[in-house]
Structure 1
Amino acid sequence: MYLTHLDCPRCGLEYAADKLQNLCECGSPLLARYDLPAVAKAVTPERFGLRPADLWRYRELLPVADPRHVTTLGEGWTPLLRTPSYGAEIGIADLMVKDEGLIPTGSFKARGAAVGVSRARELGVERIAMPTNGNAGSAWATYAARAGMGATIVMPLAAPTICRRECVAAGADLRLVDGLISDAGRRVAELIAESDGAIFDAGTLREPYRLEGKKTMGYEIVEQLGWQVPDVIIYPTGGGVGLIGIHKALHEMRELGWVGDKLPRLVAVQ
């Protein structure tokens, strides 16, 4: 594994990567950092095409040391589809769409859950908890079940019924709150405090490894374009972890020398 440490993009503090971490003491999310010069010596872009078509093909840039802890349902490597008719209609000559709906559990949230659960499992977590409005809870409940780990999912009553059913089907402890996602977040904080360390907070941007799974979208887009970057990436976003992950992936690839200095413009649509 080439993971070296976690650091805070706000204040610069560094943390050990072999211990469970949530936020920096300043309140900022933490980012996983790798020995990129060593990665560049260990693997070249051409090697990835010889590996299985899932996100774990980028294992040197992911935070799981022992393959026995990898928790997977075959997520990743979704198609990048050209859409010439719609592109012509809106005046974009070479428009492409990456179809994340084909991933297990039905959304890109499975990427973050796969890597986040795998790393949590490796660090000894037995139960995760998170607030969610929907498909993130479905994904984390499913991957926690795959890993033999418990999951407590807290949703507002107004969350989609299908997502609630998916959590229950995966065996999660589903808690409903009469309120908003912020109320669900407060309930998760209470449950974690009451657990005396037995529950790990896996909420959005509250642990550093969900982002590492989602950044693989950036690696895939560039690989699928023959290790060229697009001009613009338009990203539909809720919490924004996926877009942050793509940004992180692009900067890692630039430091590795796999792409040039010019990076795409990133557009968040909410």
Structure 2
Amino acid sequence: MINSKAKNLNCPTCSKVYDLTELNTFATCCHQPLEVTYDLSSTFDKSELKGRENSMWRYSEFLPLKNLEHKVSLGEGMTPILDLKRIAKTYGYSKILLKNEELNPTGSFKSRGLSMAISMAKGLGVTEIVMPTAGNAGGALSAYCAAAGIKCTVIMPAITPEIFKKEVKFYGAELIVLDGLIDKCGQKAVEIQKATGAFNMSTLKEPYRLQGKKTMGFEIAEQLNWELPDVIVYPTGGGTGLIAIWTAFQEMVQMGWLDAKDLPKMVAVQSSSCCPVVDFINDRPNTPESYGESVAFGLAVPVAFGKDLIARVIKESNGYCVSVDEAVIVPKTSELAQKEGVAMAPEAGAIWQAVLNLTDEGKISKEDKILLLNTGNSLKYLDSFD
């Protein structure tokens, strides 16, 4: 047993309590993602983190897994924060940092969420899982299900690069390929769930992927010696990572590890070809059919189940939700790679362009300490850069 401080699951809208020891999906009362609540009234000093294992599990008190025997880990977490000195100097910024999530076991930040979710699923007796994906999550799910001995079915848009499809098959998962974007794959996942009883692990349709990704926030604080950046810029499809980082900051404020006045502005970035959260926050009418593909596959999410929580993060942090021109994503990703030598996914080009745009608009300053999130490895996307 480990000393997890998780208490229960709560609906973020009406606060209805759901049992942590039962298999849950989302808050059916208000059709919202479920949040895990923790007893943070008595914790420990943050200095006690020193010397712990070099993975996301160093924060186990703030993760929901109660029994370590069910832990399914491939060594995810504690990815480095890089100082992008050359790109900062080129554009006149004082500090541009990059949290480099490509170094996770399956090549993206998805490793964190799937490690946590599969650990919980294993402990709750799940034997079969189905999930839609735009790319990286499918490979991560397949790997962690293989490690856990859980049957896995992944549903992926046909437009997804072949390397992602091969990755799923490599780990022994069943792959279903469909025309359309991830929303169509999500509909198929529901059909399979109803027909087979498989557990549906769609983004924010279960509570624990967010909890794994939350460790990015804990790491950012610890790695920066508890002095947070002024601005964090995050590529946003389903929005789990953005919500998760902010959740971690809020928990650390409750414990006295951070001061609320020092929390950063959170910036959610989407592509002009698929920007449902931007449209939602700006009260612009939208339908899934109005959105198209993106070279940054993680941004091609026409329906964001967690849009209310994303909007809450933007409001609470005094941040921004913006879209960038789809046409600039590849050249801006290439610019970062050629200046810094880091294998960045196309989503990085989107967030870098957002920084430049927001600077031009006077919403962020070149004197700000800015942290970017590279969510994946460019090696899976190289065909997109031709």
Tell me the equivalent position of 2:37: 33
* More deviation, 147-156/174-183: 174-183
**Residues 199-227 of structure 1, C-alpha deviations (whole Å, 9 max, x = no match):** 11100010000000001000000000111
Letter in 2 for 1:60: E
Q: Which runs of 5+ in 2 are unaligned?
A: 271-386
CA offsets 1:230-267 (integer angstroms, 9 cap, x no match):
11111122211000000100000000100012211001
Matches within 5 A, 1:174-253: 174-195=175-196, 197=197, 199-253=198-252
Q: Secondary structure at the match of 2:106?
A: helix
Please give the TM-score of this superposition, normalised by the length of structure 2: 0.67
Aligned twin of 2:384 = none
Q: For 1:84, give the aligned amino acid.
A: K
1:79-228 pair list within 5 angstroms: 79-195=80-196, 197=197, 199-228=198-227
Given candidates 3, 11, 14, the residue that maps to 2:6 is: 3
Letter in 2 for 1:227: W
| Aligned equivalents of 1:261, 1:231: Cα separation in 2 | 13
TM-score (norm 1): 0.96
Q: Could you tell me how far apart the structure 2 residues matched to 1:173 and 1:131 are? A: 12
CA distance in structure 1 between the partners assigned to 2:6 and 2:26 by the alignment: 18
Aligned partner of 2:299 in structure 1 is: none
Which has the larger displacement, 226-235 or 248-257? 226-235
- In the alignment, the residues of structure 2 paired with residue 160 and residue 134 of structure 1 have an alpha-carbon distance, to the nearest angstrom, of 8
CA distance in 2, matches of 1:62, 1:214: 10
When residues 189 and 52 of structure 1 are mapped into structure 2, their CA distance, relative to the original with a 3 A threshold, is: same
What whole-Å deviation, never above 9, does each CA across 1:155-177 have from its counterpart, x for those lacking one? 11111211110100011111112
- Quick check: which has more Rg, 1 or 2? 2
Q: CA shift at 1:36, angstroms?
A: 0.9
* Matched AA of 2:27: C
Q: Which of 18, 29, 33 is the equivalent residue of 1:15?
A: 18
Q: Which runs of 4+ in 1 moved over 6 A?
A: none
Q: Which residue identity lines up with residue 174 of structure 1 in the other structure?
A: L
Matched length = 265
Task: Give the deviation of 1:89 after TM superposition.
Answer: 2.1
What letter matches 2:133 in structure 1? T
Partners of 1:68 and 1:81 in 2: CA distance:
34
Larger deviation, residues 117-126 vs 85-94? 85-94
Deviation of 1:84 (Å): 1.9
| Identity %, equivalent residues | 45
TM-aligned CA deviation for residue 37 of structure 1: 1.1
Question: Equivalent residue for 1:259?
Answer: 258
Q: Distance in 2 between matches of 1:30 and 1:123?
A: 17
5+ residue gaps in structure 1? none
